[in-house]
């Protein structure tokens, strides 16, 4: 299983370190599974739903969240995805761009060029 993460920090808060963008892909081991969930080998023993769910972490469904001018986290966007398939950077870029457009419209302009144009 692969875990894709993207973090874009535009403005620093108390907790998060420095402005910049990161893109990471890591292979994670599946500790166990049943008919409904996977359990992966990380510090939290994360449980991931096998079927798509709007309210819990699901395989193949990205989780995108943001903070704007937060005193602790600053201004940032975070993306996380667990999947059994390979995900292209261009697809991740489109998902983040759609999230920004839907949530902030023209009020937030974030450079996503670090994700390239595969």
Domain boundaries, position 29: 2-115
Taken as a whole, the chain contains a residue count of 118
Tell me the pLDDT band of 99, cut-offs 50, 70 and 90.
Answer: very high
Q: Residue 108 above 80 pLDDT?
A: no
Work out how many domains the chain is built from and give that number.
1
Q: Which residue from 116, 112, 50, 45 is spatially nearest to 83, judged by alpha carbons?
A: 50
Q: Residue 93 above 70 pLDDT?
A: yes
Q: Per the confidence metrics, is the pTM higher than 0.85?
A: yes
Contacts of 31 (CB under 8 A, 6+ apart): 39, 40, 41, 45
Predicted pLDDT of residue 56: 86
């Amino acid at each position: 299983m692969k875990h894709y993460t993207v973090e874009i920090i535009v403005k620093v808060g108390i907790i998060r370190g420095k402005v910049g963008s990161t893109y990471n892909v890591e292979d994670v081991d599946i500790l166990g599974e049943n008919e409904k969930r996977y359990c992966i080998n990380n510090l939290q023993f994360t449980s991931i739903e096998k079927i798509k769910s709007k309210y819990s972490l699901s395989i193949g469904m990205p989780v995108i969240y943001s903070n704007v001018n937060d005193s602790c986290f600053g201004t940032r966007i975070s993306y996380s995805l667990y999947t059994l398939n390979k995900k292209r950077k261009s697809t991740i870029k489109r998902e983040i761009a759609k999230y920004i457009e839907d949530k902030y419209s023209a009020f937030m302009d974030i450079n996503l060029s670090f994700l390239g144009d595969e």
